Every structure is written in C-alpha cells, then in structure tokens.
Structure 1
Amino acid sequence: MLKTSLMQTTMMAGVLSVAALAQTTAAYAEEVTLRAMDGSSDITANLMDFDGNRYTLETAIGEIQIDASQVECIAGACPTEAAEPGTASAFEVAGNPYVVDGLLPSLFQDFASGVSGSANVNNGSVSIASANGADVGTVSLVGAQPLDGMRRLVDDRSLLAISDRPMTEEQARVFSTVGKPNPTTEDRQVVLALDGLVIVAAPGNPVNAISRIDIARIFAGQITNWRDLGGPNAPINIYTPANDSSIAQNFAEQVMAPASLRLTTQAETLSDDAAVSDAVAADPFGIGFVNFSGQTAGKAMSILGECGIQTPPNAFTIKTEEYPFTRRLLVYRATDDLPQLADDFISYLDTADAQNVIAESGFVDKTVSVVSSDEQGRRYAAAMWPTDAQTNLRELGDMVTQLLPAQRVSLTFRFLPGSSQLEARALEDVQRLADLLAAGEVFANKELLLVGFTDSAGAPAANRGLSEQRAERVRQILSSVALPGSLDSTPIRTLGYGEASPLTCNTTAEGRATNRRVEVWVRDIVATN
C-alpha cells in the first residue's frame, strides 16, 4: 500500500528521488512502513536497501529513495541501523573516465586517511570506514563523458559530476527546467585541477613546434610528409585515442572544428593515452595527441602561433593557462543539500594534501609555484617579436628592469569579458595569495609586484592605463580578503605594461583573452644605506 500524502510530503521537502544515487542491492526485499517525522503520513513498501542515510523502496511507481532523517521506520523489517539514521552516506560521482580511473581513487583514499579512516576501492566503488571500522559511506565512481555526467546530475543519479569541458549556458538552463539550481554558479562549481591536450612526436624528431592549422591539416590527412614541416623526407604516421574518448572529442572541438576539417580515417586508433604515447615514441615518424596527464613517452611539441610566439606545454604554462590547449577539470553539483561526506570531500579538494595527490597522479595542481626570470626568456623575445602589439623601447626597457631580478609566481588573474570583475578561478587564487601572505614563509623579505597586461585592441596609451587599473583592482581585492595585518610586512606595487608582452597571438578571441591578465611577481627587498 502506498499512501499519497507521504509521497507529496517527501517530494515537497526534496527528500525523495526517483533515481538511485548509488547502485542498490536486494539486501532486504521485505515490507516496511515508514512514517514522516511530523506524523502526517505513512508509506508501506518493499525495502530494497538502506545505507544509513537513505531508504530505497520498491513501489508501484518504481524505485524511490527517502531521506532517513525525514522518516522513522515503525513496522515490518526495519533495519537495525534505522535507530541512528544519517550515520553513513551513499552517493555517486560521475566524471571523465580517465579522471575516474586515474585520479579519484587516490583522492578518496587520501581523503579517508585524513579523517583517521580508510578507503577500499573495488570495481568502481569506494567504501570509506572510520578508524574503528564503522561504515562512513560508499561512493560509486562512474566513468561518463561530460554530457552524460550532466544528465546524471539532472536526474539525481549523481551528486557530483567532474568534467574537462565547461558546461554551456544552454546546458545549465536544463537544470532550472527541473527545479534545480544552476550548477555553474561560483558556489557550486569548483576547479579541481588542470590538464591539457598535447601533441606528441618521437623524441628524435627535429620538429619542435607546430601551428594549430598545421596540426589540423596533419590529422585531416592534408599534410602527409614531415618535409613540409621542416623535418625529414618521411611519411607522417598518425596515432589517435578512441573516437569516443573525451580527449578525442576535445581535439575535434579545439583543433579540427576551427579549421573546418575532420579527422582522417587513415589514423591508427589505440586504446588510451599511454598506448598513443608509447606508439609515437617508438615510431620516428609518428605523431599523436594525448592528455598532458596521460603522456607516458614521446616529445611534447610547442604550439606555434601565427605571430611566431611558441608556447611549450608544461606544468607552469598550463597552471597559468598560457598554453592554448589548457583545460580545467571542473566539479559541478546541482544541489546545496549534500550529505556531510560529500560536502567534506569538496572542502578537501582545495587542501594541500589533495593538490599533492593531483600532482602525483600526473595532473596539474593548483598550488603556487615560482620560476625565475631566466625561465621566462620566451616572453622577452615575444615582446620584441614583430606582432600587432604596439610598444616602444622605453616601455620594454622599464619592464625588463623591473622583472629581470624578480621571480614569476604561477598565479595569474583574468577578468570576465568586458568587465573589471575577476572570474571564478581568479577569485579562488586571490584568496590563495592572501593565505600565502598570511603564512609569511613564501614571501619573507620579498616585495610583491602585481603586473597588468592587455591585448592589442585599442590605443597603446589607453591599454597601458587599463593594465594599471586592472593591477590596482587585484590589489584592492587582495586587501579586502586578507587577514588584518597580514599584508603589513610585504610591500605591494602595481605596474602596467599594456600590450607590451603578449603570451600568445592577438589574432583570435582566445588569444586576446589569454593576454588580458594580471601576473604576480616577487623580488627580494634590497636594503639601501
């Protein structure tokens, strides 16, 4: 018997879900009666599963779930755990298969150890236990391409979805049609880590840089000989991951589609990144594309811009998002009412422990790194390269004088298009910078430089003024989020050099967005008598 009043009550309270959040078993399959905590209604149905947090019932309308904190079991085969509802959680996390396989198990194991517990990973399921062996929760890890992950969020199969492609506005609107909040808002979207699409060749191949259009023409079968790229007179052998993989879809969107080309059918398709990397490394005339996190062998090639600027793929250029094929791994949630375990896991992702696991797994973490001015040599060359950016020797001389004795920090702040509002990741990074300043170790006896740059659109003088304003805006936001007194011992200077130092060509909207930024530099404070 199913009483409609309880059905309506639980739906209004948001505690009933028609789709299971995790796989259930017929561990019970006996009748129980649940009563709403306010005593307003009952429901009697077959109990299929109870995880300590939710009852899964088989009803006339199909399988449903009810939050254990909203009801009490009053008759039938009540599980003994029902006396203490909510002590364990069960939920599903969907994500790109290479993230689910290569990163999430390690993250959950480290997360569990951090709360004096342990995690057992088996067949896509993570069982988390406390130090005394009590069940804390079970997390189902489901490999899903971005669109499928979004669907799983919409229909409540997943509580969290991890994607290497940002959700579009049109996709986000789907959530409002079913009464769910927008998962792309700042408080429901978290940058987990970064990754990138890299072009790999054999280590001995003399070609070190390649343009985007030439990449597209190679993989479309239009360029077939390395001689046409300045290499040996030899055929180009193409290796690719499976067409339905996330990296292949990213390649189609980022490389092939802008050139209005399709991938050739002559490529040798392999199972995954490792297989492509190994095949290319063993073939002197091979070429392929893989995730930065999945490259096991071969040589990663720099991307050559139309204006001659080369950008190599490495952890620093991906962390600063200067490498043109950088991708963010985003964690989405479509509800603000997460189980405590899921909420704690999201909070854990921004810790140093989690970021260490991310780096050890081959992905690019969000921790702050520093490189010397010597390692930024390409940017000085780019500043003097003939492009559409207009600058003069005095400006270049001043920039080199200020930055040559300094070190660049991987934090780079970018703004929402056409505004002075920092984008979501930049806001996270401002807080990260404030925390580092409060700790005092990284910037001890250092001077902080916030250096603004623009694209080449507009007059040079106006761009210089705009770059200075942007740098000052970051300083203001930094001051507003820093702990009282934490900035007192670190002098902060704002500088602006307009379009003087492009990181990539200004010929595309993507390139212009990359060049509009505020960089962070530090240099020693030199005492003068």
Structure 2
Amino acid sequence: MLRPLLSLLLLLTLSAQAEPAHLRIQGSNTIGAALLPALVQGQLWAQQATDIQQVPGAVANETVITARDAQGQALRIDVAAHGSSTGFTALGRGEADLAAASRPITEAEAVRLKALGDLRVASAEQVIGLDGVAVIVHPDNPLPQLTTTQLAQIFSGQVQRWEQLGVAAGAIHLYARDDRSGTFETFKALVLDPHQATLDAHAQRFESSEALAAQVSSDRQAIGFSSLAAVHGAKVLAVAEGEGPAMLPDRPLVASEDYPLSRRLYFYLPANAKPQARALADFAQSPAGQAIVAAQGFVSQQVQAQPVPAQAGMPPRYRSLAQQAQRLSVNFRFQEGSASLDNKALRDVQRVAEYLRQAGKLQSKAVLVGFGDPKETPGRAALLSRLRAQAVRRELARDGVEVLEVTGMGDELPVAGNDLEQGRLRNRRVEVWVY
C-alpha cells in the first residue's frame, strides 16, 4: 500500500513540475499589439531564458509566448489585447494576473476590484510609458491643425464636410476605435466629454489602431485618431486646446505631457500579484524596459536635457533660463485636488535624482519652476505655483538633490486653456531646469 502511494505522490510532483509557469495579461490593444510582447521577450532575455518563441493566439489580437527559464522550467505568457476595459474585467474574474491599460482605471472599476487591493496606489498603478493620441488624416490633406473644439464638432457630426474647415475634399469620413479601447476612452475624455458631445453613429469603429491608420491612409476624406506608435504613413495634425498653442505629438511634448492629447500607458497589478507579473512591471520601469518602449514607437520616461529656444514673449526669468540652462524632459504633476505628487511623479523624482547624480549635478545645479491656473485673489496663482515647486524640492531632497532655486510663475505660459478642469490640471505643473 505504501509503495503505490509513494509512486502516486512522485507522479503528482513530476506532473506539477512539468506544468509551465503561466502569466496571463489582458487589456489594451495599444500596448498588447506589439509593445507588451516586446517587453515580455526583453525580460525573458534579461533573465537568460532560452527557446523563446512567439506565436499568434487562437483569436485575433492575442499572442502566446513560451520559453524556458535559466533552470529549464517551462514558461508561458498569454497576451489578449482587446481593449483596456477588458483587462479590468479579466482581473475581476480571475482570468488575468496583470491588466494593461492605455487610460487610468475609473472610480467604478477601482471599487469593483477592491478585493484585489487599492489599484490606485503607486505599487499597483504603474506608468510604463507615454503616448500621444494622434489625430490623423490622409497624407494629401492640406489641413495643418485643429482645436479640441473643432475635433468635438467633427467627431460628433456637427461638422460634416471638409469645406466647413476650409478644405475642398467633400464629406468627412470618421474613423474611431471601439468602445473597449483605452484610446477611444482617452479621446472621449479629452475631446468629446468636455464639449458634451458624443461620437457620431456613422463613424467606422476599429479594435486595432493599425487597421484604423491603414484605412485613413487610403481614404482622402478620412479623419481618425490612433496611438502615436500606429500612425503608419498617415498625416498627423497639430492640436490646440483653449489659449494653448497648437502642438504636434512630438516626443518632447508628449514626454512633458504638454501635448493636449498626451496619455499614460499603465500596468495594473493586484496586491497579491504573481512574482512573474511583478518582475515584468519592474523590468518595464528599468532603463532596458524603457528603451523597448521607445523602440516600439512610444515615449519613454528616461530623463533627458533639452534646449528651449528663448522667445521675446517669455517672462524675463524664464527667458534667462532658456538662454543659460536646459529643461529636463519631465514635468511633475499632482493628484487631482491635492498638492501631493501623483504616482508617475513619485517615480519621476527617482529618475530625475538619478539623472542629476550621473550628470554630477546633485548640488545647486537644478531650478524648479512652478506653474498654475488663474485665481481671483491677486498673487494666489504665483503662491500656489511656488508651493507646488517646493513640494517637488522636498521629495528631491530625500534623494540627495540640493536645488539651486525654486520659483513660481503663476498662470503664465499656459499649455492648455483654463475654461475646463482638464486644462487647469495640465497647467498645474513643475518644470526642472539644469545648468
């Protein structure tokens, strides 16, 4: 009796060892189409895995990656990229170990998933890169730019012909991502909702940014929106919001999140995340992971210094900085209705400190410049903008950075309009300049 029992236990043990370590990721098509598989493979290479293979899944927009780790154990990673909302649904059902999203989790989703922990804390909500929602038209379209108000009118069907925009091209053909898409949720939140507009029912919908961009590139009357990484030959329009200047989704403007349709790309991990999920998130945050983010056409979070041309309309102190210093590629932003740094900013503190450390500029080489939105009380905007910069200085000091100067410029140099809350939030920022 003992020998058969021992044989059965040995068989069960060997069977368990033969089962591959399994990681299931669901969510954003923007992330899952190419970036996520590239990050998975990059992490596997970094861990000295062998026999790495990637094949399409049984359904479109799904991918299966298999490998063997350094100890020879079989690994399997399943990626299903059907839209950001599907990732949160899969987390709730226990069908995913990590959710990829191209927009932040909603209040309703966070409440529904509270059994998995608070998914809005920094350890759970991790920004892995940045993207710009690009407004795209056919390459032959002569239109250079649009405002967010015009975009709302176009995509809601209020403006239906190109002639209304000064372009002799006939009826406007609308192309949009589907309702499960984080790209659509971002466009809806930044363009349609602020103008109480809804997407025209005649718009053609796509699960994939690549398919949408390909269609726009072949239709002279088309306009659509896609991930910056999926433009693929279409013409990209500059976008202006309120009093802010028209901006193209150039990498520096997306990195600073000044571009009006900038967005963050997220991983969401439950409190009891699998070690494999946590390891993938850590790799995505690393310099090697951020290099993959950039290689895939998105904008990495690695800090860089860049010159800013001095202009006559700049405030004197700001013009002096532009003439003598360089601006870092990151803006610090804050939790809504709070003076506390948001989750991305908390990690950016570490990135800025590491950049200054490597550049030999930890001591008295950095200047923090705070900005805000207009206030009724004279001087209040300047005071609040300086307090925001002081908050960043305190965080940097914990990482050994001694700031040379802190200044507040109030509501000067807005990057967005102040009529809407989303514009005011973008104007509340802290820049870092280095000598």
Matching residue of 2:229? 293
Matching residue of 1:458? 376
Matching residue of 1:21? none
Take 1:271 and 1:174, find their aligned partners in 2: how far apart are those partners?
25
> Which gives a bigger RCO, structure 1 or 2 (Cα 8 Å, sep 6+)?
2
Matching residue of 2:354? 435
Take 2:211 and 2:123, find their aligned partners in 1: how far apart are those partners?
38
Change beyond 3 A, Cα 1:73–1:425: farther
Matching residue of 1:121? 54
Change beyond 3 A, Cα 1:474–1:263: closer
Whichever of the two has the greater Rg, that structure is 1
Alignment of 1:245-284 (within 5 A): 246=181, 247-269=183-205, 272-284=208-220
2:431 aligned with 1:516: no
Task: State whether residues 66 and 75 of structure 2, in contact with CA within 8 Å, keep that contact through their aligned partners in structure 1.
Answer: yes
Change beyond 3 A, Cα 1:335–1:323: same
Query: Which amino acid in structure 2 is aligned with residue 150 of structure 1?
Result: F
Matching residue of 2:326? 407
Take 2:104 and 2:207, find their aligned partners in 1: how far apart are those partners?
25
Task: State whether residues 241 and 272 of structure 1, in contact with CA within 8 Å, keep that contact through their aligned partners in structure 2.
Answer: no
Take 1:276 and 1:353, find their aligned partners in 2: how far apart are those partners?
30
Take 1:345 and 1:412, find their aligned partners in 2: how far apart are those partners?
26
Deviations 1:486-513 (A, max 9, x none): x47xx62212211111111111101111
Kindly state the Cα deviation for residue 283 of structure 1 after the two structures are TM-superposed.
Answer: 4.3
Change beyond 3 A, Cα 1:478–1:346: same
Deviations 1:13-45 (A, max 9, x none): xxxxxxxxxxxxxxxxxxx99xxxxxxxxxxxx
Of 156, 162, 167, the residue aligned with 1:232 is 167
Change beyond 3 A, Cα 1:325–1:73: farther
Kindly state the Cα deviation for residue 282 of structure 1 after the two structures are TM-superposed.
Answer: 4.3
Kindly state the Cα deviation for residue 454 of structure 1 after the two structures are TM-superposed.
Answer: 1.1
Deviations 1:367-418 (A, max 9, x none): 11333112x76xx75x6xxxxxxxxxxxx22322233332211111112233
Query: Which amino acid in structure 2 is aligned with residue 342 of structure 1?
Result: A
Task: State whether residues 460 and 499 of structure 1, in contact with CA within 8 Å, keep that contact through their aligned partners in structure 2.
Answer: no
Query: Which amino acid in structure 2 is aligned with residue 120 of structure 1?
Result: Q
Take 2:7 and 2:241, find their aligned partners in 1: how far apart are those partners?
66
Moved more, 102-111 or 444-453: 444-453
Query: Which amino acid in structure 2 is aligned with residue 322 of structure 1?
Result: D
Matching residue of 1:192? 128
SS of residue in 2 equivalent to 1:501? coil
Kindly state the Cα deviation for residue 366 of structure 1 after the two structures are TM-superposed.
Answer: 1.1
Take 1:496 and 1:149, find their aligned partners in 2: how far apart are those partners?
40
Query: Which amino acid in structure 1 is aligned with residue 397 of structure 2?
Result: S
Matching residue of 2:293? 358
SS of residue in 1 equivalent to 2:319? helix
2:36 aligned with 1:80: no
Kindly state the Cα deviation for residue 260 of structure 1 after the two structures are TM-superposed.
Answer: 3.2
Moved more, 147-156 or 263-272: 263-272
Query: Which amino acid in structure 2 is aligned with residue 417 of structure 1?
Result: E
Take 1:217 and 1:113, find their aligned partners in 2: how far apart are those partners?
48
Query: Which amino acid in structure 2 is aligned with residue 463 of structure 1?
Result: A
Query: Which amino acid in structure 1 is aligned with residue 343 of structure 2?
Result: A
Unaligned runs of 5+ in 1: 1-31, 34-71, 384-395, 524-529
Take 2:230 and 2:101, find their aligned partners in 1: how far apart are those partners?
16
Query: Which amino acid in structure 2 is aligned with residue 299 of structure 1?
Result: K
SS of residue in 2 equivalent to 1:234? coil
Kindly state the Cα deviation for residue 270 of structure 1 after the two structures are TM-superposed.
Answer: 5.8
Take 1:175 and 1:284, find their aligned partners in 2: how far apart are those partners?
44
2:345 aligned with 1:422: no
Kindly state the Cα deviation for residue 449 of structure 1 after the two structures are TM-superposed.
Answer: 1.3
2:72 aligned with 1:104: no
Deviations 1:179-224 (A, max 9, x none): 4312221221111112222211234433212111211222233223
Task: State whether residues 355 and 365 of structure 1, in contact with CA within 8 Å, keep that contact through their aligned partners in structure 2.
Answer: yes
Change beyond 3 A, Cα 1:334–1:268: closer
Deviations 1:402-442 (A, max 9, x none): 3333221111111223332111111110011111122236x
SS of residue in 1 equivalent to 2:415? coil
Task: State whether residues 154 and 334 of structure 1, in contact with CA within 8 Å, keep that contact through their aligned partners in structure 2.
Answer: no
Of 426, 433, 449, the residue aligned with 2:367 is 449
Take 1:309 and 1:160, find their aligned partners in 2: how far apart are those partners?
38
Matching residue of 1:344? 279
Query: Which amino acid in structure 1 is aligned with residue 327 of structure 2?
Result: R
Task: State whether residues 219 and 238 of structure 1, in contact with CA within 8 Å, keep that contact through their aligned partners in structure 2.
Answer: no
Take 2:274 and 2:20, find their aligned partners in 1: how far apart are those partners?
9
SS of residue in 2 equivalent to 1:258? helix
Query: Which amino acid in structure 1 is aligned with residue 267 of structure 2?
Result: V
Take 1:253 and 1:435, find their aligned partners in 2: how far apart are those partners?
34
Change beyond 3 A, Cα 1:460–1:227: farther
Query: Which amino acid in structure 1 is aligned with residue 67 of structure 2?
Result: I
Deviations 1:261-297 (A, max 9, x none): 3333444556743343344344444322111121111
SS of residue in 2 equivalent to 1:293? helix
Matching residue of 1:206? 142
Deviations 1:343-387 (A, max 9, x none): 32221111111111111111221111333112x76xx75x6xxxx
Matching residue of 2:60? none
Matching residue of 2:240? 304
2:102 aligned with 1:164: yes
Query: Which amino acid in structure 1 is aligned with residue 407 of structure 2?
Result: L
Query: Which amino acid in structure 2 is aligned with residue 499 of structure 1?
Result: D
Change beyond 3 A, Cα 1:175–1:236: same
2:394 aligned with 1:476: yes
Q: How many residues align?
A: 424
SS of residue in 2 equivalent to 1:479? helix
Take 2:120 and 2:296, find their aligned partners in 1: how far apart are those partners?
26
Matching residue of 1:495? 407
Deviations 1:436-484 (A, max 9, x none): 122236x5999211111111123342222222222222112101123xx
Matching residue of 1:61? none
